[in-house]
Structure 1
Amino acid sequence: MPIVHIDLIAGRSQAQLKGLAKDVTAAVSKNTGAPAEHIHVILNEMQKDRYSVGGVLKSDETAE
């Protein structure tokens, strides 16, 4: 039973998240031989003020 955890910053549409889960499931099934119904995909969405890179919160970054 493969379990895939994906952490990403919140902001994608429901359609994007569904597509991600579907595509990841297909890739894991193809490469492991596990049936799709046994593959678990967990999407953890983080708010920008709960994630930082290089000590800078994503919520504090300016658009470039």
Structure 2
Amino acid sequence: MKANQELLHHFSCDQCKYWWAVGSKSFEVGQFLYCTNCGYLNRIDAIDTSRNTPNSSGDTLLAP
């Protein structure tokens, strides 16, 4: 099997709480980003870099 890795950031607007994702771009703490729903200018306060977090069923995608 061949696997590829994608850099994907998930965002939640401080104003309207809308959620969206942006792939293939690097972001840094302190950068500003407009909400794609309401246009509010958000500041990136932190970036969570957790890996292998459980999905909604509580399992990871990796086989034991």
User: Which interval holds the TM-score relative to the shorter structure?
Assistant: 0.3 to 0.5
Q: Which structure would you say has the larger RCO, counting Cα contacts within 8 Å and 6 or more residues apart?
A: 1
TM-score (norm 1): 0.34
Larger % of helix: which? 1
TM-score (norm 2): 0.34
